[in-house]
Amino acid sequence: MLTRSNKPSRSSRNKSKRQLIADLHKHSPISEQYRTIRTNIEFSSIDKQLRSFVVTSAGPGEGKSTSVANLAIVMAQNGQRVLIIDADMRRPTVHYTFSTANTRGLTNVLSKQTTLEETAQETKIENLFILTCGPIPPNPAELLNSRKMELVLEEALEQFDTIILDAPPVMAVTDAQLIASKVDGTILVTSSGKTDREEIIKTKELLTKSKANLLGVILNNKPVDEKSYYYY
């Protein structure tokens, strides 16, 4: 397991857009948890440098996209040039998270309408860039499993130190499994009190069959008493 990441309550999240707490509150206990995840990923790369990751979950609403954004932020804060790719072509949210347009993105690059260099957007966070999904295609799985997708990832690794892909839930569609076979590592996000145990087991089995390098699990929404941070 990578570590635990605790998020603000649902009521507080509903009052604003997705909170990038690693940027807004750099010294908070939650931000420190994301830095712990970053460190654990670094320790996972003993024999081979891990530079490309896919983050997925068993089902929807488990905090996957929020984890992608905050993990990317702490990596960028560490001096890495980071690119987030919105590979959830069914329900893309990266453009929402970073309050930017989604008129063109990954789908346009894969269909050769534009290039990665032209389409990747710089965020207000130093060293952090995003490639939004772009127009939702009728054939997400085919695009993600294409040779062109492999070439885009290769090109991205020439321009960036780290690539993080936000993928759909494993139990919903095969997209995450297809992407997992093309990257260095896979991270599974679960939600305390929500994610079904059997679904997690099935998700792990599906990822293993797709030859995913499962690095670990992020446990989200775990209720924690503020006093528990005293030792920290």
Alpha-helix runs per DSSP H in the chain: 10-14, 21-24, 29-44, 64-77, 94-97, 106-110, 116-119, 140-144, 147-159, 175-180, 197-209
Is the CATH code 3.30.1600.10 the one for domain 3-229?
no
Side chain identity at 72, as an amino acid letter? A
Tracing tokens 């570590």 back to the chain, one arrives at 3
Residues 151-209 pLDDT 10s: 999 999 999 999 999 999 999 899 999 999 999 999 999 988 777 889 999 999 999 99
Residues 93-128 pLDDT 10s: 999 999 999 999 999 999 999 999 999 999 999 999
Residues 213-231 pLDDT 10s: 999 999 887 776 655 544 3
Domain boundaries, the chain: 3-229
| Of 161, 167, 149, residue with least CA distance to 207 | 167
